[in-house]
Structure 1
């Protein structure tokens, strides 16, 4: 995970130049035709409400691990976000917090799940909601194996009869709040807090409080075998609609004059809590290694999915790809941004 945006600090901290959108589109199209961007499905670049580049490419795709065959991707095509879903879930928690529907980050996590009294213990009782948001729960969790492997902790959670018990009962291996460990289980717990607090499934809460206000009328949030939407990886959106979320964040939490999420939550969300080298991590968002506030925040997803946001520059970049479970897939969005978008925007 640490290599996903290694070069972006230099790109997104540079001065912004005027863009030639035709040149940027042509640059990306030519690179794809030359075989330099294999697996790329979509690129969308927006700055201050203006589209600087938007391209779609045919390619084999999946729906949450299920093959879809060759797809003709376009503006209306839903696409897996995979772990970019985690970042959207972190945003939804902030919306729920603004509405008084969930306890705050300092609240004990296990106390929000009274249906598991047998799990109470001194170390687990010290885990806070904030520790889950920052992925510093201190429990054993391993997502280094491919997501096609049932030994991967997220997949094991999906196969468990009770996903929340599975996450909460994992052995304590570090003091809560001390060690960062990438965990879809932490996201599942945050999704449960939202659903329980709102009295509705996570996807319904997202529709009413994020998607509808942004004018997003087509989405899918894939559920596991238990019917629970996968907060960690199940969201599917068009590139344009994901960019709408990014633009709302870049605009300080408002859209069309309406506040969607508080500035306070956006600031807390983008406050560094951990430092998985070479980046930093906030509340379910990856952060640039430099800047206070960070120069950029981003969501990363298996297969090359990416949304990067630079509020200071008003810049949002969305990349979709189909290189699922490829350990080198992170190189694709980095190449798209570093080799093509950055030079075209004068960000070198």
Structure 2
């Protein structure tokens, strides 16, 4: 049964009275292009939701003009990776997957012949969780380009062999490289250990306990659920995951995600870009603007789940700027021109 959010006013949670009128003006003026949905929860309360009609797609399949609302499923794209990181922690707490220090290749005995590659012996699940595997991987190319490593993985006869066979280019643990293949490996290890498909595991141990009953997960051409980019949720269901994380893995009085795993997840492990650090499949930004540290997941097209622990805020942003070079602009504008100034009283 879906979680019944209680409504509350933004002003009750530190937002200025000008927040909503200014945001609505920006939407009306077209200053937040490709925005489909924005919902904000604070301390378990629903404090804001906005939906905009627009063109959408599901993993590249056109859906036409969609009249978005609270119950509309939306691609999360690479926000999926961060959810998979949480699922891994749940499976670890259940004793169904090995700890981060476990060797990677041992989890894929069906590819034991790859032991001929010396660098694979150095890789552990820690390197997978932190995207520091030290292998060649390029997702800087458009996702319409078959040379993009994630697309090449999707087209490979065996996606897991494709990932493991990538040539070494750096010492494991020394460099962060954005790698959808890492999330794919985690998804497969969860399936192996639990005996469930990735979607069934998520439904059983995360979605259903949170009241999420409309989730979908896109499969690749080989029938494998795309751990890196295939999850589809409603905006409030995504916000509910954020609220659970903010509450140390508890939701409606129930332990769902191990608190110890969340502490490990949000420990900065390696620098990735600008002033952003990376933990276990999540991005981390230190407190530099008076609002406390932020934890966030992001995906192609402008998808975001942004958590501000000191404010108790779970912010879900869903957009349709897939594969566009300026796809970051709308979520950045929402945060930098609306949310954060409103919390500062501006």
The aligned residue for residue 327 of structure 2 is 329
- Measured after TM superposition, the shift of residue 310 of structure 1 is 1.7
For 2:267 and 2:325, locate their aligned partners in 1 and report how far apart those are by CA, in whole Å. Answer: 28
User: Are the aligned partners of 1:20 and 1:52 in contact in 2 as well (CA < 8 Å)?
Assistant: no
2:39 is equivalent to residue 44 of structure 1: yes
User: Are the aligned partners of 1:135 and 1:180 in contact in 2 as well (CA < 8 Å)?
Assistant: yes
The aligned residue for residue 186 of structure 2 is 190
For 2:311 and 2:33, locate their aligned partners in 1 and report how far apart those are by CA, in whole Å. Answer: 29
The aligned residue for residue 295 of structure 2 is 297
Quickly say closer, same or farther: Cα 1:20–1:289, change in 2 above 3 A. Answer: closer
For 1:255 and 1:166, locate their aligned partners in 2 and report how far apart those are by CA, in whole Å. Answer: 38
**Residues 265-344 of structure 1 mapped to structure 2, 5 A cutoff:** 265-278=261-274, 279-290=276-287, 295-344=293-342
For 2:18 and 2:328, locate their aligned partners in 1 and report how far apart those are by CA, in whole Å. Answer: 24
Extract unaligned runs of 5+ from structure 2: 1-10
For 1:60 and 1:24, locate their aligned partners in 2 and report how far apart those are by CA, in whole Å. Answer: 26
- Offset from partner CA, 1:201-257 (integer Å, 9 cap, x none): 100000000000000010100000111110000000000000000000001100011
- Offset from partner CA, 1:126-154 (integer Å, 9 cap, x none): 10001000000011100000111111000
- Offset from partner CA, 1:274-298 (integer Å, 9 cap, x none): 101220000000001458xx81210
2:344 is equivalent to residue 346 of structure 1: yes
2:227 is equivalent to residue 231 of structure 1: yes
**Residues 187-226 of structure 1 mapped to structure 2, 5 A cutoff:** 187-226=183-222
Moved >2 Å (runs of 4+)? 16-27, 343-348
**Residues 119-158 of structure 1 mapped to structure 2, 5 A cutoff:** 119-120=114-115, 121-158=117-154
- Offset from partner CA, 1:39-86 (integer Å, 9 cap, x none): 100111111122221000000001011111110000000000000000
Q: Report the secondary structure of 1:312's partner residue.
A: helix
Q: Report the secondary structure of 1:335's partner residue.
A: helix
The aligned residue for residue 259 of structure 2 is 263
Q: Report the secondary structure of 2:121's partner residue.
A: helix
The aligned residue for residue 85 of structure 2 is 90
For 2:142 and 2:104, locate their aligned partners in 1 and report how far apart those are by CA, in whole Å. Answer: 28
User: Are the aligned partners of 2:52 and 2:68 in contact in 1 as well (CA < 8 Å)?
Assistant: yes
Q: Report the secondary structure of 1:190's partner residue.
A: helix
Instruction: Choose between structure 1 and 2 for higher RCO, CA contacts under 8 A separated by at least 6 residues.
Output: 1
User: Are the aligned partners of 2:39 and 2:316 in contact in 1 as well (CA < 8 Å)?
Assistant: yes
For 1:25 and 1:169, locate their aligned partners in 2 and report how far apart those are by CA, in whole Å. Answer: 51
For 1:268 and 1:211, locate their aligned partners in 2 and report how far apart those are by CA, in whole Å. Answer: 22
2:55 is equivalent to residue 76 of structure 1: no
- Offset from partner CA, 1:167-211 (integer Å, 9 cap, x none): 000101111111110000010000000000000110000000000
User: Are the aligned partners of 1:21 and 1:52 in contact in 2 as well (CA < 8 Å)?
Assistant: no
- Measured after TM superposition, the shift of residue 20 of structure 1 is 5.5
Q: 1:106 aligned to 95, 101, 109, which one?
A: 101
The aligned residue for residue 55 of structure 2 is 60
User: Are the aligned partners of 2:286 and 2:294 in contact in 1 as well (CA < 8 Å)?
Assistant: no
For 2:31 and 2:226, locate their aligned partners in 1 and report how far apart those are by CA, in whole Å. Answer: 33
- Offset from partner CA, 1:274-325 (integer Å, 9 cap, x none): 101220000000001458xx81210000010000012222111111000000
Quickly say closer, same or farther: Cα 1:347–1:170, change in 2 above 3 A. Answer: farther
